[in-house]
Structure 1
């Protein structure tokens, strides 16, 4: 295999164990020919059977266990830079809490805490978008604190309801609450408020206008801002299909990569304005009625589907290492081709594309062989690839249960 820059002076360490963890390890391997160490209590079979991942099992995912693991790995790699990353809110927070106690050869590339908290709050993100001239949906902020009655919303039904800050809400998902709610009437909304308060949630929720259009009206941007304040990675994709399982709702599972210069320009203007550093993964929806491009939220990390960028020619881990290890924070990399990124079977993704022009484009990209699945790495073991194939096929059952046919609202 030809690597972008074969090297032996770095040791990637990834906190996690899911498919996004594997994608990061694959990106490190394809960029530098290195094996990543994955820290966790367990991991999916795609990771455990991989030739470019070494598992470091911990008894629990608490700070003490993870800190001890990183220190041990750093000691074993004394002549290398140990790059510690994560791709979920809780583990990013964990790294932030322990980074000052880690050995000198450990690098933790995190955005500034205050900025990360600010953009993770969907209320504040909306305010930032408006101040930089970016369009956002009509939104009402509802506080669940206290016991005072909550006034009926003035946003027309049907509408969307979702938590303002994921960090305050994640453990409620484990109790059966959803990431996003589609509400038809006030009575449904009132029942949700009562259930959340009974469960002990006292944070803020957003009640938001419903932007119609199925999953194919979504766009995804992944941008990297260097320590010099430059946009050194610009990636984008036209979403075709999102996960519809309640706890994973909205995560893209099929996309076609494409240059998005107008959206890149708008997003970079905001990121430069607030002094952002690191990865930013931004969700945008196009309103089929008005043509508006509405900025929905910003995830302060590379995102679960980072491999779409690597498939289109810009490897996120290469860009990261060139900045934080090598000090190249000026060279810009932007995708310039169409690739079908998919985690579901290609035939399943195709079934949800209803627009004839988009379907023709889909078929042309597939016919040209421009297709990529993060779990189908030719350089990896047959066992890892087979485990990935089983995960891909499992989506057939999931979509039959949660989203058997496309709808005009994606709900």
Structure 2
């Protein structure tokens, strides 16, 4: 099968997810990506491997589709294949919504919008988990019409509890005092306060109250998968997060991931993705529950994860499977189940060693001592003085963030 096909990655966004995908494309194919974004964020600044084209309001649907239509019109006679890769929830949603039109010019590895809406909305996702016998935490839904005080007083599981938005996109459009990406709620007074503030700010969708699964960040697991256009899982890679960003707007973002392997988890997720006829990248967050030994799903992201470069770092380059499927039309042969050997770092080593569960310090030091570690942002083939200084500054800021916000 010929691989003499010219293709151009078009990445949507400009954050660390975009840089991770651009680096993956560059490592595997030597190509420079184009990124379309509303603005240029720090992770992609001063880069030689991704050219960011900023369009004000590109994160709004009207501008988004106009920019992509204009791009298609200006490249209509090209022989190059243009491959769309969304690197954020909003971009993935709009790509899915306009998939039919965009597919007339671009290669669009995304599910149809009806399935997207069911999986993206957490309450609907938990209903699907029930249908396919996937474990998830005990859950109570709150709506704008709920009698908040009565509902909270009637909760049957014990504090602390988790509180998070059912629709992460509409949640980002409101602001209120104390707002976080997700909350760990200590008592009923705090629960009532945050729910009242959220809905008084105009949030229009469900909030989710969940049973708190015992254990810290080290009980989390993250899985990235690629599913081809015929709904066959080509690659899965499991990671073991050790530490999460404690900053209110970034809480839950992983900042250190060890490689992991679990055949039962792989089989369960593969069966699910193939039965629902998924296609494209998928990213699952889950947590080990020591009470029953299960891995309970928190959510599915309908794109590769923000920290998904850990997959490429461990030898399973994310773009390899995407391009083989969508550009080179290589037939499915087998599912690759990742077994990694490198520690992914999103913070300085000293921050990880200071704040991580002490049980993992010896293992982390072994990875560091043997050189089996890496980052997304520091790439030897994209290391100008300006970029290096900016990335060092970005890493250094985590020292203050952890000092201010980290709570054991």
TM value normalised by structure 2? 0.91
Contact 1:8 1:34 in 2 (8 A): no
Q: CA deviation at 1:254?
A: 0.6
Where does structure 1 lack aligned partners over 5 or more consecutive residues? none
2:395 matched to 1:392?
A: yes
Greater CA drift, 246-255 or 323-332: 323-332
C-alpha distance in 2 between matches for 1:221 and 1:142: 28
Residues 333-358 of structure 1, C-alpha deviation per residue, up to 9 Å, x if partnerless?
Answer: 332222110110112112233353x3
After superposition, give the CA deviation of every residue in 1:18-65 in whole Å (9 maximum; x if it has no partner): 111111111111121111111123213441311111121213213444
Query: Structure 1 residues 325-334 or 20-29, which shifts more?
Result: 325-334
The alignment partner of 1:172 has SS state of coil
Give the structure 2 partner of residue 256 of structure 1. 258
1:329-368 superposed matches below 5 A: 329-331=331-333, 332-356=335-359, 358-368=360-370
1:303-336 CA distances to partner (integer Å, 9 max, x unpaired)? 1111100000011122111111222351433322
Could you tell me which of 35, 50, 60 is aligned with 1:38? 35
CA change 1:109–1:138 in 2 (3 A) is: same
Q: Tell me the residue number matched to 2:118.
A: 118
Tell me if the contact between 2:93 and 2:116 (Cα under 8 Å) persists in the aligned partners. no
The correspondence of residues 16-31 of structure 1 with structure 2, limited to 5 A, is 16-31=13-28
Alpha-carbon spacing, 1:228–1:73, altered in 2? closer, same or farther (3 Å): same
Q: CA deviation at 1:291?
A: 3.1
TM-score for both structures, normalised by structure 1: 0.90
**For residues 216 and 103 of structure 1, do their structure 2 counterparts lie closer, same or farther at Cα, with a shift above 3 Å needed?**
closer
Distance 2:312 2:101 in 1: 33
Task: Choose the corresponding residue for 1:265, options 264, 267, 270.
Answer: 267
Q: Deviations over 1:184-203 (max 9, x none)?
A: 22122222222122112232
Equivalent in 227, 231, 234 of residue 233 of structure 2: 231
Residue by residue, what CA displacement relative to the aligned partner does 1:208-243 show, whole Å, maximum 9, x if unpaired? 111121111111000111112211011111101111
- Residue 138 in 1 paired to residue 138 in 2? yes
Which stretch of the first structure deviates more once superposed, 89-98 or 143-152? 143-152
CA distance 1:219–1:146, shift in 2 (3 Å)? closer
Query: Mean alpha-carbon deviation: is it higher for 332-341 or for 31-40?
Result: 332-341
Return closer, same or farther for 1:32/1:353 CA change in 2, 3 Å cut-off.
same
RMSD of aligned C-alpha atoms? 2.3
In 1, the alpha carbon distance for the partners of 2:175 and 2:307 equals 21
208-217 or 106-115, which deviates more:
106-115
Q: Give yes or no for contact 1:129–1:270 (8 Å, CA) kept in 2.
A: no
